[in-house]
């Protein structure tokens, strides 16, 4: 069951890829994929290229895939090991979800962190998240961009002031 579903999702991704994302198997292992996410334009991660690993379990799609960032990300819902705190990868998983939808949800998380379910609470405190996405971007931006510039070699976001180290 899992192999057939994974193959169908791969074909769907190739036919209609999600915006700013790509994914596919590593070598010939259909249960181990690598994805690439381009940082969303309306986020502090704009212009960044982020690698993500996807491991499908034998009971997929009845259990969620294991998804983690390989690229370091300074984000309250992503820890230093790349683990992602996203409800659809845990208790809100449904067999109706696809990898395409998972990747789009991760892109959305980069744009709008979830302050109600932080994986790294100290980053949430540093970020002083607010309900306004514009204020959120400007308040979380400097720390996120410093991390991105130092670790990912991503140029500064045009809405943010230059960073001084």
Predicted confidence at residue 11, as pLDDT, reads 97
Query: Which of these is catalytic: 85, 107, 126, 152?
Result: 85
User: Is residue 69, in this structure, part of any structural domain at all?
Assistant: yes
Q: Whole domain around residue 122: which residue ranges?
A: 2-152
Number of domains in the chain: 1
The whole-number pLDDT of residue 129 equals: 41
- 158, part of any domain: no
- Residue 98's pLDDT is 97
Is 163 domain-assigned? no
| pLDDT for the residue 157 | 47
Residue 85 catalytic?
A: yes
Q: Render pLDDT for 36-49 as a digit per residue (tens, 0 to 9).
A: 999 999 888 998 99
Residue 164 counted as domain residue: no
Q: What is the DSSP string of 98-146?
A: -HHHHHHHHHHHHHS--TTS-SSHHHHHHHT--S-HHHHHHHHHHHHHH
Residue 131 in domain: yes
Asked, for residue 160, whether it belongs to a domain, the answer is no
Domain with 141 in it: what CATH number? Answer: 3.10.110.10
């Amino acid at each position: 069951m899992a192999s057939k579903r994974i193959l169908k999702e791969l074909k769907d991704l190739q036919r209609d890829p999600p915006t700013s994302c790509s994914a596919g198997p590593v070598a010939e292992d259909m249960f181990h994929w690598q994805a690439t996410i381009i940082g969303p334009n309306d986020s502090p991660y704009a212009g960044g290229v982020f690698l993500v690993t996807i491991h499908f379990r034998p009971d997929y799609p009845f259990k969620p895939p294991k998804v983690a960032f390989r690229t370091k990300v300074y984000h309250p819902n992503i820890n230093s090991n790349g683990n992602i705190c996203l409800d659809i990868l845990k208790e809100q998983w449904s067999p109706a979800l696809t990898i395409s939808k998972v990747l789009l949800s991760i892109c959305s998380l980069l744009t709008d962190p979830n302050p109600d379910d932080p994986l790294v609470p100290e980053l949430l405190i540093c970020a002083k998240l607010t309900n306004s996405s514009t204020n959120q971007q400007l308040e979380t931006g400097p720390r996120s961009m410093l991390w991105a510039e130092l670790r990912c070699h991503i140029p500064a976001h045009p809405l943010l002031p230059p960073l001084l180290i």
